[in-house]
Amino acid sequence: MADKNLICKDCQKEFVFTEGEQEFYREKGLQNEPQRCPECRKAKKAEFNRNRFQRR
């Protein structure tokens, strides 16, 4: 298995889905490839956490 170049659905930048990440996804039973680059994933998670604490 080789590294894959994917396009982020948020920022449209290309990012690498490494062989190691692919193996991790397979071990966890995840079937879909990531749709966001690491930077956009981090931003999305931070936004989610901010919104979660504001609702309380």
DSSP state, residue 39: H
- pLDDT score at 56: 58
- Its pTM stands at 0.80
- pLDDT score at 10: 98
User: CA torsion sign, 12 to 30 to 17 to 50?
Assistant: positive
pLDDT per residue over 15-51, tens digit each? Answer: 999 999 999 999 999 999 999 999 999 999 999 998 8
More confident residue, 39 or 55: 39
Q: Where are the domains of the chain?
A: 4-54
**Helix ranges, 1-56 (H):** 19-27, 38-54
- pLDDT score at 53: 76
Tokens 């989610």, residue located: 48
